[in-house]
Chain A
């Protein structure tokens, strides 16, 4: 039955929306979540067939403009250095993620104070720490405590994923140079849980996990949230948010048949990621007294540095994105010529199709030398991604396309994004360091992609959190400055980006916001 009222309406069933739904529903709150996509049956993943790599090119392609499934809206990205890499469905972009699961560091919350750039967060690492721990427990994390590069982790961990021969080679390089490295925290089980089998090291997490080992909120938060009474409506498109002065009153959406519905709600939570949330707020003309909705878009600009070795490294074995990372260059050192820092993250090897198409390197040449080059590279490489902190710049933004609309009539998102000067410097610093590490590990050749155009995974900063309504969109709990009952919990609230994958921080922020909402709903 189509719901017409909820205590809390959540827009988006991805990483953050699921966390909020679970936290509120288990406290007895009436929750309805509206999701544009549908459930994905991961038990039938393409990884069960020979053509799983074709699936990565098509229906599991990261770019919605290429994938073009029913739930995918086109994104106008002609003016963006980095193309969108998102997914719509119950689980959102986690349905095709690599599950690398790092946290921000304490210094990431005090960028202005420590380094004199950008802005501080209106909260500190310590405010999120208990929620990071809670989130780890809900998602299930493999890893190892004791990393000298990060604050101690309290939450239990499964044993870490194996490094494989390529990882061991890389460790040799880092050790030779005396640099930091540590096995990745990964949202991937290495021990069984009810309903989820441990990872069997198959590799292509990006086409879904048949075993449920890789966490994606459809196999973690949502089953628990629904069991607690949360209602999840899939295949519907929210077309506008309706407010009366300082109060949200309802959410208008269309079902798959095009029929319009209205959901009245006491509180509304935006969890549609840093692109979708900005798009809907702008389309509804809501929450933007500051003029900052959509502005300060940050990605994690990424360079890709691959070492080719003279031995077989079996890089197809093991989760492609979760092995180890190096945070030797994470904190600011102005002597390097840039402010803030970067992370080097290991990626394992590619399958045959991706190798031929150039996955992490250049596309292999066609013609008489093709097979020779394939034999030289395939299964013999290991990659370091250089992920840098992107500083907020007001001209990088999400806006509404003036003429093109989706099937429900909502203007399409338009991206304007250029890699900033500091980010470019950090990328170049990281490329040089990655090259050094791979050479020290024994690589006979190193190939560099100075900027991955495909790496638009993280949309951050488009409804930034802050204490001052003139310079931010929401407060430190994600509550809109302009409206008393509108909350934002996705990556759009990030005032700064850090240099690591944002999902654990997004989810921790969402859980903390849910507790703030509970103090209002159940004082």
Chain B
């Protein structure tokens, strides 16, 4: 099944929107194809094989309608495709850079830097400390 057709599907799932790149802008089809571990039984191909004729040349609204129909017919396989697409998209460095700009979520792995371990503010517990024990003796 061609990468072009997969790219068209992925652009329908994840179209560009403002700062967010479309799936094809980050070569998502290559990444999804490469994730054999995530699709050991070829569910993506099962979805592509059932695409209606004319899908590739249809406009965005028509493509979305076609995929929604396919999602109803092949829920398990389609969910696999969406999972692979989201996973590949949100680990792309270019997408991570957008997340950092838009939300402040750092574009780096959690380790080794981690984040500051701020001290716990015990003043938050003032009212709880005044409460009598309420666990049951037994």
Q: Show the binding face of A for B, using Cβ within 8 Å.
A: 45, 47-54, 57-58, 105-107, 109-110, 113-114, 124-125, 144, 146-151, 159-163, 168, 171, 175, 180-183, 190, 198-204, 210-211, 312, 314, 316-318, 330-331, 351-353, 356-357, 363-364, 366-368, 370-372, 375, 378-379
Q: Is the CB of A47 within 8 A of B15?
A: no
- Number of A-B residue pairs at CB separation under 8 A: 171
Q: Is the CB of A378 within 8 A of B105?
A: yes
Per the bound structure, the CA–CA distance linking A124 and B137 in Å amounts to 11
Q: B2 within 8 Å of A by Cβ?
A: no
Q: B49 within 8 Å of A by Cβ?
A: no
Per the bound structure, the CA–CA distance linking A106 and B135 in Å amounts to 8
Number of interface residues of B (CB under 8 A): 57
Q: Is the CB of A367 within 8 A of B12?
A: yes
Q: Is the CB of B91 within 8 A of A50?
A: yes
Per the bound structure, the CA–CA distance linking A163 and B20 in Å amounts to 31
Q: Show the binding face of B for A, using Cβ within 8 Å.
A: 12-15, 17-18, 20, 37-38, 60, 64, 67, 79, 82-83, 85-87, 89-91, 93, 95-96, 99, 102-105, 108-122, 124-125, 127-129, 131-138
Q: Is the CB of B110 within 8 A of A312?
A: no
Q: Is the CB of B86 within 8 A of A357?
A: yes
Q: Is the CB of B15 within 8 A of A367?
A: yes
| Pairs A–B under 8 Å by Cβ, sample size 30 | A47-B111, A54-B87, A58-B37, A106-B136, A149-B133, A162-B117, A162-B118, A162-B119, A163-B121, A163-B124, A168-B124, A190-B117, A198-B117, A199-B114, A201-B114, A202-B110, A202-B115, A210-B112, A211-B111, A312-B103, A316-B105, A318-B115, A356-B86, A356-B89, A356-B90, A357-B87, A368-B15, A368-B60, A371-B17, A371-B18
8 Å CB contact of B120 from A50, A144, A353: A144
Q: Is the CB of B117 within 8 A of A107?
A: no
Chain B residues in 8 Å Cβ range of A330: 135
8 Å CB contact of A372 from B17, B134, B135, B137: B17
Chain B residues in 8 Å Cβ range of A110: 138
Interface of A is mostly: loop
